[in-house]
Amino acid sequence: MLEGLINKIVVIGGNAAGLAAASQARRDNPEIDITVLESGDYISYGSCSLPYFISNEVKKIDDIFVYSKDFFEKKRNIKILTAHKVTGLDTISRKVHVDIPGDKKGFFDYDRLIVSSGATTIVPDIEGIDADNVFRFRDVHNALDLDCFIKGTSPEKAVILGGGSIGMLMAESLIKIGIKVTVVEMSENILGGFEDEISTVLYKKATLGKANILTGSKVIRIVKDAQNIAHQVEVDTPDGSVRLDIDMIILATGIKANTSFIKKDSRTLIDLGQKDAIKVTSRQQTSNLNIYAAGDCCMCKNLVTGKYDFMTGANNAAKSGRAAGENIVGGSLDFDGSVGTKIDNIFGLEIAKAGLKLKEATEHGFDAIKVTGSYSSRAHSLGGHKTINISLVFENRTGRILGAHMVGEEGVSKRIDILATAITEEMDIDQVYMLDLSYAPKVSTVWDPVNKICAKAVLNLKNRKI
């Protein structure tokens, strides 16, 4: 049950989830007062394009922005207040405490609140991490700071902490502008969320693309001078300790929900879960019934395991935002969850996944099997076709598809989206083996790679049952 009349909605965070939520609430209720509080100076930007601003493929920062403040204020009648950082909540008196420009403090009353404050970089506890040439990379401010540093000091050597998607995207961007890059990754391979044989394809391509990658390695110290500038990092590698000369450092060390303003205040009765992410229902309602949450700051149901996880991404942010906006004004739109569909284009490879990898499936109690295959992206007759490597995880007893991971130079996005749909709908390998998929020689093969990997899985299962 929601309490009281709704006159005022406050939204914390002015990007994908927050603006989707505010816009949907406005569509459903033309009268209500809606205010978006954004800590930064910018709203409505594509974080996903920020690495391409650093590599100069996006020519100017203005190209990153989607809608202006003016658009929201004039066309949607939504008040946007930038440089308004929420520092705490009082859920009993329904107040949001805010730092406002001019070093002032203030508060906003709300009847209903939407938290969509995104995620923040996890900063590892390493000596020297506070040096001025150590950069995070999450938002427009971070990108402008990094761009300014690069243009102002012409760095030659960078080290990137973390070989996940962001680390590898940044490695490619820096190499494109002539900076030598070393990626230091603690695990045995880069892109830990992927099956090893898929990540390894990217590892090899990135190495050929001039990235120096140290896996199974850890930066243990950053050596800086009296001006607070780092010049060296000390790295523990499987072959012993090494020192690398560097001009800059990028932290791509993973993310956690940006919810410190919730945790701080004991008068805030909102339950948090993994990585400090806000627990929500499928209506995006938190444990406090007047407060909704959406996007990277909250948990999301994993549709394969049925359990809530910290599953971030622009696609989930937009949808959960829309659901939060609709439901906060009395609607009934469910965001059921996600299968973690994800794609990156790095060093000329499309690398994508949906669902679980074998290890995760086993850990979640599935009796799972994996098959792998390499297939042509389109017909051989015309030449120019590329290889797509696919790893498919499925359940032994039922043949239900649990996960798909793939990499190739072209045609991956079409295939991952088919398998993401199949995983969402709990389809099995027999159904997808015979699924009617489009064919023309320039774009596919008669048996699409997705049909083929499922055919292989069917055969594999039959052989096991004999």
Binding site for ligand FAD (CB under 6 A): 12-18, 37-40, 47-48, 50-51, 85-86, 116-119, 137-139, 166, 258, 261, 295-296, 312-315, 317
Closest to ligand FAD by CB, 111 vs 350, is: 350
Closest to ligand FAD by CB, 109 vs 363, is: 109
Residue 295 CB, nearest distance to ligand FAD (Å)? Answer: 2
> Dihedrals φ, ψ of 289, to 5°?
-65, -20
Closest to ligand FAD by CB, 118 vs 449, is: 118
Residue 242 CB, nearest distance to ligand FAD (Å)? Answer: 28
Residue 292 CB, nearest distance to ligand FAD (Å)? Answer: 13
Residue 66 CB, nearest distance to ligand FAD (Å)? Answer: 11
Closest to ligand FAD by CB, 50 vs 126, is: 50
d(CA 227, CA 154): 18
Residue 420 CB, nearest distance to ligand FAD (Å)? Answer: 13
- Categorise residue 44: left if φ over 0, alpha if ψ from -120 to 50, beta otherwise: left
- Name the residue among 450, 440, 388, 442 with its Cα closest to residue 417: 450
Closest to ligand FAD by CB, 200 vs 345, is: 345
Closest to ligand FAD by CB, 17 vs 432, is: 17
Residue 46 CB, nearest distance to ligand FAD (Å)? Answer: 7
Q: How far is CA 221 from CA 59, 68, 285, 444, in A?
A: 35, 42, 42, 50
Residue 140 CB, nearest distance to ligand FAD (Å)? Answer: 8
Closest to ligand FAD by CB, 164 vs 399, is: 164
